[in-house]
Chains A and B, each alone.
Chain A
Amino acid sequence: MVFGSIDPTLLLASLMVAATPILFAALGELVVERAGVLNLGVEGMMITGAICGFAVAVNTGSPLVGFVAAAAGGAVLALLFALLTQYALANQVASGLALTLFGLGLSALLGQGYVGIKPPRTPKLDIPLLSDIPFFGRVLFSHDLMVYLGLALVVAVWAMLKYTRAGLILRAVGENHEAAHALGYKVVRIRVLAILFGGACAGLGGAYISLIRVPQWTEGMTAGAGWIALALVVFASWKAGRVLLGAWLFGGVTVLQLNLQAAGLAIPVEYLSMSPYLITILVLVIMARDKSRAPASLGRSFHASQ
């Protein structure tokens, strides 16, 4: 039986790893969209983060510095998007697509000398005692720092949006930018900051793929993860906690289909590889009914006319 060769402990542990890149990217995009901006350039920022992180990690020998560089790379690309949409008032959908096309080209160019290189290993943080618990130790407490950082970020974003003044202002800008402007909040400044945060998160997610998950550099290696992250935000109805749930679901599907491929199921590999994308569509269909949660100003440009 094919399922017999799949170890549930390993499966769940690798689920956590597979979920982390899209978790980062989706959390960033969640904040951006709550501020009323639709940035479709997640894929481009992720892949740019992936190569920036990879290149810096290889050159410095430190994965940690690599992750910082990845966040910076993603944020720089996001800054271009912010300039286009917030200052030049360009269409957000078109600008996001431009960002993705640009990022794919940029990363391919930057990554030329890095094909076939192994990045420095990121150490695993075995939490003492906890990681010795049978089953749960392996699944929950035996990962690298980024997995925990991702989980912490979920809590931080949730708390920020729900309990802090900054979160309230951010949501106000996203729900009704005219009213927020009338109250004296700097709509454009707040949105630019949110976009930069989104870019940094996407960069981290991308670097997680190139430095830990795979770990190596190949062109176009994010393979739609950025778009899945975008779908995840819709799936999560713009709530941080449900982003985590969604990321685990997609991580689970990805890991399961990879395991089935390895187990040599009679279905050709290609059809199994389709499954994460098909599941994404299915989830979009199921979640589409709950439309009420989308920020009211999502995707609309703001221009303060005297």
Chain B
Amino acid sequence: MLKLEKRPQPSRFWTWLTPLLAVLITMVAGGALFAALGKDPVEAIATIFWQPLFGEFAFYYRPQLLIKGAPLVLIAIGLSLGFRAGIWNIGAEGQYIVGALTGAGVGLAFYPAESWAIFPLMVLAGGLGGWAWAMIPAVLKLRFGTNEILVSLMLVYVAEQLLAAMALGLMKNPEGHGFPGSRNLRQYESAHNAELIAGTGMHWGVVAALIAVILAYILLSRHILGYHIRLMGQAPRAARFAGVRPARLVLFCLGASGALAGLAGLFEVAGPAGQVSIDFNVGYGFTAIIVAFLGRLHPVGILLAGLLMALTYIGGEIAQSNLGLPAAAIQLFQGMLLFFLLAVDVLTNYRIRMIRREVA
């Protein structure tokens, strides 16, 4: 009979091995799923993980890796701070949308003026928008004790409706012949989040994501605030005695994750997406939750996990057009990854022992 025995401390070995193990198991289970859908499993897995990097059209797909990875990493870095402290912001999707709306709003307000200052202002507005949207669950939690999970999630649906209202109303392109959606920011020089180096996919969002990774690393490993965040998550009672003020942590963690999600939204709307449209959001805010856990809530881990998840997005699109694999199968594939990760995570905290059942 199998028996779990709690480890005195989480195993460092398994901490880093479990994500790899989870990815492997997901590949196997995903292969089985694709086989069940009547596709060649090996070909499907190869299409998802190999084609974007080393396939025939890799020169086109590699930049996509940065474009899709940047928002995931940006959002996941923010989420990981809160998740470490036991503060669950799961409404990043909403903060992403609102950041895009406020950022694009500033840009559209200046149209057609040209100035170098417009884009920085948009970045500021995007971050502030996401921050403000995340402050709603934070303030309600501190003032009334509401659950931040439910409030932040409800605000995603509110933000989606707000997005639709903006795309159809206030921000609609006056020269768009009545079609929904705003002016295209890519055709507006001062507001365009353009590629910094042509053909690489490198835009300001990628830069911001890298800066976020570095800052988060320093914060968590070198700064007292990062120490408080970790302490709060691992031993809330000890944290209270050590003089950690939970209210400040709630404000900081929710605020930071909201601002980063807002930035991700702004960089997306001003660059790859180009305009505010009804279907602007594609679920990065939710996928980022998987990224955060897959990266073990560690900045460097999140960077790698974000790239891997971006790979499944791109590979999924290729598999969709080449093999006719349904888009939902990829979504399911990503969901499976988190499942298996949580399942194998038991090895980090527990030792599995074989014991013989004793006769009573």
Contacts and interface: CB of A to CB of B under 8 A. Distances in A.
Contacts of B149: 40, 93
A137 interface: no
B335 interface: yes
Nearest to A233: B150
A152 to B, nearest CB: 28
B294 to A, nearest CB: 11
A259 B350 CA distance: 55
B4 A284 contact: no
A303 interface: yes
A227 B153 contact: yes
B289 A234 contact: no
Contact of A88 (B5, B147, B155, B342): B342
Interface string A139-164: 00000000000000000000000000
Contacts of B289: 97, 101
Contacts, number: 135
A98 B345 CA distance: 14
B313 interface: no
A291 interface: yes
Interface string B311-338: 0000000000000001111111111101
Given A105-B328, A291-B145, A227 B345 contact: no
Q: Looking at chain A, what size class is its interface with the partner chain?
A: 35 or more
A105 B158 contact: no
Nearest to B293: A94
Nearest to B347: A88
Contact of B343 (A88, A102, A219, A270): A88
Contacts of B144: 285, 288-289
Contacts of B165: 268, 270-271
Q: Looking at chain B, what size class is its interface with the partner chain?
A: 35 or more
B157 interface: yes
A270 B161 contact: yes
Nearest to A304: B4
B346 A284 contact: no
B140 A285 contact: yes
B154 A98 contact: no
A101 B150 contact: no
B15 interface: no
A88 B145 contact: no
A104 B161 contact: no
A109 B328 contact: yes
B146 interface: yes
Given A271-B165, A284-B146, A288-B147, 4 more contacts: A90-B343, A105-B332, A105-B333, A285-B144
16 contacts: A88-B343, A89-B4, A90-B342, A90-B345, A94-B338, A98-B338, A104-B331, A105-B331, A224-B156, A273-B161, A274-B157, A281-B140, A281-B154, A281-B155, A284-B140, A284-B147
